[in-house]
Amino acid sequence: SQQGEEDPQALSIQEGENATMNCSYKTSINNLQWYRQNSGRGLVHLILIRSNEREKHSGRLRVTLDTSKKSSSLLITASRAADTASYFCATDAIRGSTLGRLYFGRGTQLTVWP
Protein backbone atom coordinates (compact mmCIF):
# COMPACT_ATOMS: atom_id res chain seq x y z
CA SER A 1 0.00 0.00 0.00
CA GLN A 2 1.09 3.55 -0.66
CA GLN A 3 -0.47 4.82 2.55
CA GLY A 4 1.66 6.91 4.81
CA GLU A 5 2.08 5.57 8.29
CA GLU A 6 2.52 7.97 11.18
CA ASP A 7 4.63 7.24 14.19
CA PRO A 8 4.03 7.32 17.11
CA GLN A 9 0.31 6.51 17.24
CA ALA A 10 -0.03 8.68 20.32
CA LEU A 11 2.14 11.38 21.86
CA SER A 12 1.61 13.15 25.16
CA ILE A 13 3.69 16.18 26.14
CA GLN A 14 3.64 19.28 28.34
CA GLU A 15 2.99 22.78 27.04
CA GLY A 16 6.16 24.41 25.84
CA GLU A 17 7.78 21.16 24.76
CA ASN A 18 8.41 20.26 21.14
CA ALA A 19 6.39 17.53 19.44
CA THR A 20 7.86 15.41 16.66
CA MET A 21 5.78 13.11 14.50
CA ASN A 22 7.08 10.90 11.73
CA CYS A 23 5.60 9.56 8.54
CA SER A 24 6.85 6.76 6.32
CA TYR A 25 5.56 5.78 2.90
CA LYS A 26 6.34 3.17 0.30
CA THR A 27 6.44 4.47 -3.27
CA SER A 28 7.68 7.56 -5.09
CA ILE A 29 5.66 10.71 -4.53
CA ASN A 30 5.13 14.15 -6.03
CA ASN A 31 4.45 15.78 -2.70
CA LEU A 32 3.62 15.05 0.92
CA GLN A 33 1.16 16.95 3.05
CA TRP A 34 0.38 17.20 6.73
CA TYR A 35 -3.14 17.73 8.02
CA ARG A 36 -4.57 18.31 11.46
CA GLN A 37 -7.95 17.13 12.78
CA ASN A 38 -9.59 18.23 15.99
CA SER A 39 -11.84 15.59 17.52
CA GLY A 40 -14.98 15.03 15.43
CA ARG A 41 -14.12 17.80 12.97
CA GLY A 42 -12.81 17.98 9.43
CA LEU A 43 -9.17 17.90 8.43
CA VAL A 44 -7.28 21.14 8.06
CA HIS A 45 -4.29 21.44 5.76
CA LEU A 46 -1.07 22.46 7.52
CA ILE A 47 1.74 22.26 5.02
CA LEU A 48 2.75 20.73 1.70
CA ILE A 49 6.29 19.76 0.83
CA ARG A 50 7.30 18.79 -2.69
CA SER A 51 9.55 15.89 -3.51
CA ASN A 52 12.39 18.24 -4.51
CA GLU A 53 12.25 20.07 -1.19
CA ARG A 54 14.01 18.92 1.97
CA GLU A 55 12.63 21.26 4.59
CA LYS A 56 9.78 23.71 4.97
CA HIS A 57 8.64 26.03 7.74
CA SER A 58 5.30 27.56 8.59
CA GLY A 59 5.08 29.43 11.89
CA ARG A 60 5.82 26.91 14.65
CA LEU A 61 5.77 24.02 12.18
CA ARG A 62 8.82 22.50 10.56
CA VAL A 63 8.52 19.69 8.06
CA THR A 64 11.36 17.66 6.63
CA LEU A 65 11.30 15.20 3.78
CA ASP A 66 13.84 12.50 3.02
CA THR A 67 12.88 10.84 -0.25
CA SER A 68 15.78 8.38 -0.03
CA LYS A 69 14.33 7.03 3.20
CA LYS A 70 10.73 7.66 2.14
CA SER A 71 10.04 9.48 5.35
CA SER A 72 8.93 12.85 6.65
CA SER A 73 8.76 14.48 10.03
CA LEU A 74 6.56 17.20 11.46
CA LEU A 75 7.97 19.25 14.32
CA ILE A 76 5.73 21.53 16.36
CA THR A 77 7.83 23.83 18.51
CA ALA A 78 6.74 25.37 21.81
CA SER A 79 3.53 23.36 21.83
CA ARG A 80 0.29 24.69 23.28
CA ALA A 81 -2.78 22.95 24.67
CA ALA A 82 -4.63 24.12 21.55
CA ASP A 83 -2.30 21.94 19.46
CA THR A 84 -4.06 18.87 20.86
CA ALA A 85 -5.40 17.05 17.80
CA SER A 86 -4.72 14.18 15.42
CA TYR A 87 -2.07 14.78 12.79
CA PHE A 88 -2.08 12.97 9.45
CA CYS A 89 0.40 12.76 6.65
CA ALA A 90 -0.90 12.31 3.13
CA THR A 91 1.03 11.29 0.07
CA ASP A 92 0.08 11.30 -3.55
CA ALA A 93 1.35 8.56 -5.84
CA ILE A 94 3.17 8.89 -9.11
CA ARG A 95 0.64 6.94 -11.16
CA GLY A 96 -0.19 9.13 -14.06
CA SER A 97 -2.64 11.89 -13.21
CA THR A 98 -5.06 10.09 -10.90
CA LEU A 99 -6.86 13.03 -9.45
CA GLY A 100 -7.37 13.07 -5.73
CA ARG A 101 -5.49 9.88 -5.06
CA LEU A 102 -4.15 11.01 -1.71
CA TYR A 103 -3.20 8.33 0.74
CA PHE A 104 -3.68 9.11 4.41
CA GLY A 105 -2.21 7.31 7.38
CA ARG A 106 -3.97 6.47 10.63
CA GLY A 107 -2.61 9.58 12.30
CA THR A 108 -0.76 10.55 15.45
CA GLN A 109 -2.91 11.63 18.37
CA LEU A 110 -1.10 14.51 20.07
CA THR A 111 -2.13 15.58 23.57
CA VAL A 112 -0.56 18.71 25.03
CA TRP A 113 -1.11 19.15 28.76
CA PRO A 114 -1.30 22.65 30.25
Partner 1 sequence: ETGVTQTPRHLVMGMTNKKSLKCEQHLGHNAMYWYKQSAKKPLELMFVYNFKEQTENNSVPSRFSPECPNSSHLFLHLHTLQPEDSALYLCASSSGEAYTGELFFGEGSRLTVL
Report the interface residues with partner 1, using CB under 8 A: 3, 30-31, 33, 35, 40-45, 48, 88, 92, 97-106
Nearer to partner 1, 59 or 114 (CB): 59
Nearer to partner 1, 79 or 109 (CB): 109
**Smallest separation, CB 79 to partner 1 (Å):** 23
Minimum distance between the CB of residue 64 and partner 1, rounded to whole angstroms?
19
Residue 107 beta carbon to partner 1: minimum distance, rounded to whole angstroms:
8
Residue closer to partner 1 by CB (options 19, 46) is 46
Report DSSP letters for the chain, one per residue.
Answer: ----EEE-SEEEEETTS-EEEEEE-SS--SEEEEEEE-TTS-EEEEEEEETT-SEEEETTEEEEEETTTTEEEEEE-S--GGG-EEEEEEE---BTB-TT--EE---EEEEEE-
